[in-house]
Structure 1
Amino acid sequence: MAILSPVTFTQWVLIVAAVMGLVCAVKDGAEFDENEEDVDAGADDNKVENRGAGVWPLRGAFGDVSSVAVHPNGELFLLHRGPNAWLATTFNESNVYQEFERGPIEADVLIGVSPNTGEELHRWGRNRFYLPHGLTIDADGNFWITDVALHQVFKVDPVSLELTLTLGEAGVPGSDKNHFCKPTDVAVTSTGDFFVSDGYCNSRIMKFDSKGNYLLEFGRPSDPSTIPAPADGLNIPHSLALIPKYDLICVANREDEKIQCFTAGLQGDVSAGQMVQQIAHPALSRVFAIDYSVPLNKLYAVNGVGFSLEDKPMSIFSIDLASNAISSWNPAEDGVDMVAPHDIALSPNGQYIFVADMAPQPTIWKFDNSDYDPRKE
């Protein structure tokens, strides 16, 4: 595989910051009326500044934005950590969170905004989470959230905004079928079965049925002393992308600086977890996140802060799954300085790319995807 010449994108930027602890969410007609008087106050703190050339920031008071996802209706959702941050002292040597005495995040950690204007539309999730990490929205609009402090995975109904599924034991890390250790992401199939990347301490991908019953797992810790490296070796599986067309579940293997794709077992005649394809290139560096565009049949990736990034700029990658061709683009060449990219998501038709940039100022970058051709819709 080769990195092609950089593709051209049009940059839009949404710089997000959030007002802590204001209102509960409104979603598809469902409304939480407590603190309703704060709705207007929150909206007043979101101000759009026109920078010209298609660039605009939306500023408020959000914490670190760890994830971004797009609802089937096109609405953009952000997952942030309020005042909490992941520091060297946040967990002990046994991976137990050390700041439970501070209580859960008082702010609504899930924020929905217009993908066109950045106007805030919905918010939810106060007083529930401690260190949220991954956000997935399935085809039915359910929200899936992982929390690395709680070592849990949550499913949230889009209408009632109630938790309909909780996996893992709160605050207790583990490696059996009933526990996680800092789970990072979720990918959901059309039948409701789902995969969990687990995670920062366990080098595995777990599969569950739609009711949350454990089905299987695959993956093992990478062993740098083993040559060749094991095909299923993982070192922080950080992000997932399901590709139904090819019956694949792809994994951003962050610390091994590559993407691995395994059978997903969607057809019933092939079990999940068989290694199929590996995508690796020196320019990838640490792959933080991946997302698949069904209309474009392309896998997108973003790398992040590496240990030696002098020759590995933070870039967006496009992998054509029909030809295996890889294209890359360095936003800095067009004046966009991504600092700490952490997640990536595409609009339903593939026209836009969104990247969550955690620091120093939490930012969501919006890019016009040059792979998109409106004539093919």
Structure 2
Amino acid sequence: SMGSNEMCNFYMMFYRSADEPDPFPYGAVCGMNENQQLMAAEYPVEGTTLLPSHPELEHHAHQSSRPFGVMDVFAINQLGNVRFGQISGLAFDNQGKLVIFQRASRIWGPYSFDSENKLTDRSAISEPTIVLARIKDNELIFEKSFGVGLFYMPHGIFVDQSNYYYTTDVGSHQVIKWKFSGDEFEAVFALGESFIPGSDRQHFCKPAAVAVSKKDGSIFVADGYCNNRIVKFTKNGDYVSEFGQSTTAAGREVTKLSLGAFNLPHDISLDEEHDRIYVADRENGRVQVFTGDGTPLSEMRNSEYFGNVYSVDYCPSHGLFFIPGLPTQLADEINVFGAPLGASIFEYSFRGRAKEFSRPHILRARDNSVYVGEIDDSGGILWRFDIDQEAGSMMPMNEFSMGGSGPTSAQNSVVVFLIITVAVFMGIMYFMRSHRVNINSRTPTSLFDRGVSILES
């Protein structure tokens, strides 16, 4: 600070793990009652002396030769001859192909179910409900569509390592395991009684999602819309256990919701390497984290950024992704949120650049790609986002070379110009400092007389 009436500010930048508590929960601002003697003794000398010049660090920033971060690759409403209806589920088969579960012309509206949660239109969907696509570079190549006359209100889908398909149908209240027999898509077994909702071990009520263990084939069902529970079965469909309970209206009003209580568990994902189960607790606006046996561990929740969570997926390459389905008064933008491996809170988010999400419903990630399916009444949209973590491949610098060759004549001229500029600047600084000392000679002051204030930015 050079002027006698200027404020002298000291800014400090530091890094911490996002998992650690905020060290300044009430703002990082100093008061105006600093201890001058202590500050004079403890203030680092580096804070009052100029740093040596490093031209190689002072040029324009390196410019990447390609975009860096998360890029939206496409947003499509049709593949092959299939125009998407509401896209309720996504999965990857054992060959890495994308499986799209969609409702064709069937729309889940306000009159699709009666007051007893029974489907009002029990006719099977007469169009293909499953689309299989091969992933090639930045494209999806249509392979085939199937599932005609098999589903009533499709919701969740999963494909295991042996290429068995598992589907949840909120219309029939069933979870069904399927296999291919030649070109035929056949049921292996069904869990739940067709069109009969219930809450016991033999029934579901609008089951939302299903996931299958790679270790032993155990089946986990998010029985969400009515029962608020996660139910576990053996690979053969025998009941094992369940966990979860409903969140009461009063419980939703308290600041900290109880772990293990659900208000519509809408999606489920497994991380068996770390013995974790992730559940999208939709209407409580959080992702809940459980051990493999259903013991609640933690949650990810922040109403400032999302008021609901529709889908969650664990990706070994990047960690956890989740997405809300609707904006709220506080969070009027819909984003995909990412929590890197080992993190307990989300650390970044992204969305489309050309247009906004409308009604995202399902999210699945594989390798460096994230797919999002939407359920807008006008038709489904399938998004793809790619994550680019390649930090290399820099473009040549405009003014300075970091290579081993000697400086060019143009670079020498730039260096000479910088030296002259710095010399002139230092001369001006010396003159102003001498002038200021003469003015203040009668009332000498300490460098720290006005204190050091950290301003929140």
TM-score range, shorter chain: 0.7 to 0.9
CA contact (8 A) 2:307 2:324 kept: yes
CA contact (8 A) 2:300 2:346 kept: no
Q: Which position in structure 1 is the counterpart of 2:397?
A: none
CA contact (8 A) 1:70 1:346 kept: no
Structure 1: distance between partners of 2:390 and 2:208 = 29
Q: With structure 2 as the length reference, what TM-score do the two structures score? A: 0.66
Q: How does 1:350-361 map to 2 (within 5 A)?
A: 350-359=367-376, 360-361=378-379
Matched, 1:328 2:352: no
Change (3 A) 1:371 1:219: farther
Structure 2: distance between partners of 1:108 and 1:371 = 37
My pick for the range that moved more, 223-232 or 149-158, is 223-232
Q: How does 1:113-124 map to 2 (within 5 A)?
A: 113-116=133-136, 117-124=139-146
Structure 2: distance between partners of 1:156 and 1:99 = 24
Residue 136 of structure 1, aligned match among 136, 144, 158: 158
Q: Which position in structure 1 is the counterpart of 2:207?
A: 183
CA contact (8 A) 2:300 2:345 kept: no
Deviation sequence 1:65-94 (CA, Å, 0-9, x none)? 111112232211111111111111111111
Residue 274 of structure 1, aligned match among 295, 300, 309: 295
CA contact (8 A) 2:168 2:207 kept: yes
Please give the secondary structure, in 2, of the residue aligned with 1:157: strand
Please give the secondary structure, in 2, of the residue aligned with 1:225: helix
CA contact (8 A) 2:69 2:389 kept: no
Q: Which amino acid aligns with 1:170?
A: S
Deviation sequence 1:171-219 (CA, Å, 0-9, x none)? 0000000000000101111211110000111110000001100001110
Matched, 1:97 2:119: yes
Change (3 A) 1:119 1:309: farther
Q: Which position in structure 1 is the counterpart of 2:172?
A: 150
Please give the secondary structure, in 2, of the residue aligned with 1:287: coil
Q: Which position in structure 2 is the counterpart of 1:302?
A: 323
Q: Which position in structure 2 is the counterpart of 1:127?
A: 149
Residue 360 of structure 2, aligned match among 334, 338, 341: 341
Matched, 1:223 2:248: yes
Residue 255 of structure 1, aligned match among 279, 283, 289: 283
Q: Which position in structure 2 is the counterpart of 1:290?
A: 312
Q: How does 1:33-72 map to 2 (within 5 A)?
A: 43=80, 45=81, 60-72=82-94
> Following TM superposition, by how much is the alpha carbon of 1:159 offset from its aligned partner in structure 2, in angstroms?
4.8
Q: Which amino acid aligns with 1:277?
A: S
CA contact (8 A) 1:14 1:118 kept: no
Structure 2: distance between partners of 1:357 and 1:122 = 21
Matched, 1:11 2:32: no
Residue 163 of structure 1, aligned match among 154, 166, 187: 187
CA contact (8 A) 1:285 1:304 kept: no
CA contact (8 A) 2:259 2:298 kept: no
Change (3 A) 1:373 1:342: farther
**Larger helix percent:** 2
Residue 383 of structure 2, aligned match among 356, 361, 365: 365
Q: Which amino acid aligns with 1:203?
A: N
CA contact (8 A) 1:235 1:256 kept: yes
CA contact (8 A) 1:302 1:316 kept: yes
> Following TM superposition, by how much is the alpha carbon of 1:132 offset from its aligned partner in structure 2, in angstroms?
0.5
CA contact (8 A) 2:86 2:375 kept: yes
CA contact (8 A) 2:283 2:308 kept: yes
Moved over 6 A (4+): none
Length, aligned pairs only? 318
Please give the secondary structure, in 2, of the residue aligned with 1:284: coil
Deviation sequence 1:7-31 (CA, Å, 0-9, x none)? 931112241337xxxxxxxxxxxxx
Q: Which position in structure 1 is the counterpart of 2:223?
A: 198
CA contact (8 A) 1:315 1:328 kept: no
Q: Which has the larger radius of gyration?
A: 2
Please give the secondary structure, in 2, of the residue aligned with 1:326: coil
CA contact (8 A) 2:228 2:265 kept: yes
Change (3 A) 1:325 1:223: closer
Change (3 A) 1:236 1:166: same
Q: Which amino acid aligns with 2:321?
A: Y
* RMSD, aligned α-carbons: 2.2
Change (3 A) 1:336 1:328: farther
Q: Which position in structure 2 is the counterpart of 1:22?
A: none
> Following TM superposition, by how much is the alpha carbon of 1:141 offset from its aligned partner in structure 2, in angstroms?
1.8
Deviation sequence 1:297-345 (CA, Å, 0-9, x none)? x011111114x2453411111112413352332424x223210000011
The unaligned stretches of length 5 or more in structure 2 are 1-17, 20-67, 393-457
Residue 129 of structure 2, aligned match among 109, 132, 151: 109
The unaligned stretches of length 5 or more in structure 1 are 19-42, 46-59, 265-271
Structure 1: distance between partners of 2:391 and 2:218 = 32
Please give the secondary structure, in 1, of the residue aligned with 2:277: strand
Change (3 A) 1:114 1:95: same
